Structure 1
Amino acid sequence: MTMGTKILAAQHYVPNTVVTNNQLAEVMETNDEWIVAHTGIKTRHFSMNGENTSDLATKAAQKTLAQANYAAKDVDLIIISTITPDAQTPATAAIVQAKLGATNAWAYDISTACAGFVFALSTADKFIKSGMYKSALVISAEVNTKMMDFTDRTAAVFFGDGAGAALLVADEQVNNIYAESLHTMGDGETIHSGRTYPITEIKTSNYPKTDAFFQEGRSVFEFATTTVPTHIQEFLTNAKLKAEDIDYFITHQANLRIIEKIAIELEQPMTKFCHNVEYYGNTSSAGIAMAFAELWNQNVDLKGKKLVLTGFGAGLSYGSILLEF
């Protein structure tokens, strides 16, 4: 019998510290009016009390398991998408596995930047539909602030910290994941973070160093507002659907102006586009996961509804996945 993938629960978590535009204006040359006009962002949450990426991921996962009344020991697989791991090794997913007490799960990270939740959902879906695994926790978690250069106002004003999680289970009668389209353009320059470099000579002063987050803002905007809408249209055509057939779109929460532009290109109302970037900022891979969790927990009947989740970011990686309930 063909196995389906059912989404059983979804939750999100953000750190307690809320940072306003005016607070950022105290440390860099910017102001609330400029940030809101160009990004739509009003506040964001910063992890400033010792919570690292694994902590945010663990709390989102705990809330998700509690919602589903599902024991951590019954989870088979944990996939975490992040570009801000606790460390290069071990995987943040391994740390989360221990914190959850998910002793029977194997765990690993993926890194496809702001497309991470879509890529991770796709990956978990394949494991479940293989028939070998009955459940998977998919978590996107980011502490972007630890990678920011706060002298770079073209990047630092956008980002916040947070995590979102979804529990996927095997089901013989229900399948929520119906179609996907994933792409990589092989661009390592437009967006990058945490670059490390090989040594040039043997000396005692050698010590690992990493670069702060960097993005070419204009190139990112053009990519997000041209390549991405075209991709969504082609994805829907291949799925024998039109934009008007979709009940909700959840795109990467890059900034509100980009989401508005995608809506215009698809000729769809903003009421169909879930967004949280105004009060969470750009949370990289966590943005879609958090927006999905918010929709999941609203008083909205998703039965019979179609959702398109579209991520795009460094790589340049982008992709969409179609959910039906």
Structure 2
Amino acid sequence: MIGSKILASGHYVPKDIVTNDDLAKVVDTSDEWIVAHTGIESRHVSLQGENTSDLATKAAEQALERAGVAADEIGFIIVTTFTPDGLAPSTAALVQRNLGASQAWGYDLSTACAGFVFGLSTADKFMRTGDYQYGLVISAEVNSKMMDFKDRTSTVFFGDGAGAVLLGKAERDFIQAEEMHTRGDAEVVHSGRIAPLTKLSADNYPKIDAFAQVGRSVYNEVTTLIPGHIQSILEKEGLTVDDVDYFVLHQANLRMIEKVAEILGQPMTKFVTNVQHYGNSSSAGIAMAFDQLNQKNDLTGKKVLLTGFGAGFTYGSLLLSL
């Protein structure tokens, strides 16, 4: 059997830290309200001109360095993002150039905040063909550039960052099980919508909308669907939540993660979180949290469940047997 394994991981956040008190100076909110409702105390924000491809490149460089693999040995690069540098070229193409990964092809994958789970699943399929020695999966977001800073229901949540994993060939596969879902919903969460023309005019120019979400609907959707989804994927493997060593959920909101843990009857010590100081970093949150877990622990023989959920409504899980 041809399989793949995670050789190394890395993550990067911009150096500028924006606290809740900083946000309160530009939007009608307070540190007390944000912490009470979200658990977020601060977030990293790209204020030095770094775009999504820049963050992605730095996370990838860290993973490559840790693995001792040269960029020109990579076979492919998948970047998951819904805040790309632009619609074309792909962010992955820019990362390929930045890294000097001359032998790699690349493309972007967009499933919003579930991106890392879907990207890792996709990359694993390519690795299992046996055609590639190494593949990169990078989740990167500059959410700040898509925010309406008059909208406190969205702005207070989000931060910027990137996480990466390098996959290599293995005799067995590191993904034990997966389950993916999409339920089309264009209104609960949306970002960057481009309206079609209604007339031909010299004044026509592309315009996109800012990120927007219906926070209560998102919370209800996640806390209703995700615990059952997690139990479903485990039951198919003859496992229970007690068999999982670590849960890495989308870092949407600490209170949301706490609620899922409560419903599952699992201690928060098994849930990896970075949302307190990174904010909701969309698809990058799980990737960065996995790297933080990977750097602090020997994951050999451990079962790690990655669960992403986001706009679409798209959600899915990967059960990793490391």
CA distance in 2, matches of 1:105, 1:60: 17
* 1:212 aligned residue (210, 213, 223): 210
| Residue aligning to 2:155 | 156
CA distance in 2, matches of 1:239, 1:176: 14
| Residue aligning to 2:191 | 193
| Residue aligning to 2:321 | 324
For 1:262-319, what per-residue CA distance to the aligned partner results, in whole angstroms no more than 9, with x for missing partners?
A: 1011110000000000000000000000000000111x22121100000000010000
Aligned partner of 1:239: which letter? E
Per-residue deviation, 1:167: 0.2
| Residue aligning to 2:308 | 311
| Residue aligning to 2:298 | 301
Aligned partner of 1:227: which letter? L
Q: Map 1:79-118 to 2 at 5 A.
A: 79-118=78-117
| Residue aligning to 1:248 | 246
Aligned partner of 1:217: which letter? G
CA distance in 1, matches of 2:63, 2:199: 49
Paired residues, what number? 322
Per-residue deviation, 1:238: 1.0
3-state SS, counterpart of residue 138 of structure 2 = strand
**Structure 1 runs not aligned, ≥5 long:** none
Aligned partner of 2:312: which letter? G
CA distance in 2, matches of 1:307, 1:154: 32
3-state SS, counterpart of residue 63 of structure 2 = helix
**Structure 2 runs not aligned, ≥5 long:** none
Matched, 1:58 2:53: no
Aligned partner of 1:97: which letter? Q
3-state SS, counterpart of residue 283 of structure 1 = coil
Per-residue deviation, 1:199: 0.8
CA distance in 2, matches of 1:301, 1:86: 35
Aligned partner of 1:306: which letter? K
3-state SS, counterpart of residue 116 of structure 2 = helix
* 1:291 aligned residue (289, 292, 300): 289
3-state SS, counterpart of residue 189 of structure 1 = coil
3-state SS, counterpart of residue 54 of structure 1 = helix
| Residue aligning to 1:261 | 259
CA distance in 2, matches of 1:228, 1:191: 17
TM value normalised by structure 2: 0.99
3-state SS, counterpart of residue 103 of structure 2 = coil
Runs (4 or more) in structure 1 with deviation over 4 Å come to none
3-state SS, counterpart of residue 84 of structure 2 = coil
CA distance in 1, matches of 2:136, 2:268: 30
Aligned partner of 1:20: which letter? T
| Residue aligning to 1:3 | 2
3-state SS, counterpart of residue 11 of structure 2 = strand
Per-residue deviation, 1:29: 1.1
For 1:42-101, what per-residue CA distance to the aligned partner results, in whole angstroms no more than 9, with x for missing partners?
A: 000000001000000000000100000001000001000000000001100000000000
Aligned partner of 2:162: which letter? A
CA distance in 2, matches of 1:123, 1:175: 13
Aligned partner of 1:305: which letter? K
| Residue aligning to 1:178 | 176
CA distance in 2, matches of 1:171, 1:272: 27
Per-residue deviation, 1:134: 2.0
CA distance in 1, matches of 2:280, 2:192: 18
Per-residue deviation, 1:189: 1.1
Aligned partner of 1:262: which letter? V
Task: Say what the alpha-carbon RMSD is for the aligned residues.
Answer: 0.7
TM value normalised by structure 1: 0.98
Per-residue deviation, 1:259: 0.4
CA distance in 1, matches of 2:271, 2:280: 16
User: Which stretch shifts more, 228-237 or 126-135?
Assistant: 126-135
| Residue aligning to 1:203 | 201
3-state SS, counterpart of residue 167 of structure 2 = strand
Aligned partner of 1:204: which letter? A
Percent identical among aligned pairs is: 61
Matched, 1:167 2:169: no
CA distance in 2, matches of 1:175, 1:182: 18
Aligned partner of 2:205: which letter? Y
Per-residue deviation, 1:188: 1.1
| Residue aligning to 1:223 | 221
Q: Map 1:267-278 to 2 at 5 A.
A: 267-278=265-276
Aligned partner of 1:203: which letter? S
CA distance in 2, matches of 1:187, 1:169: 36
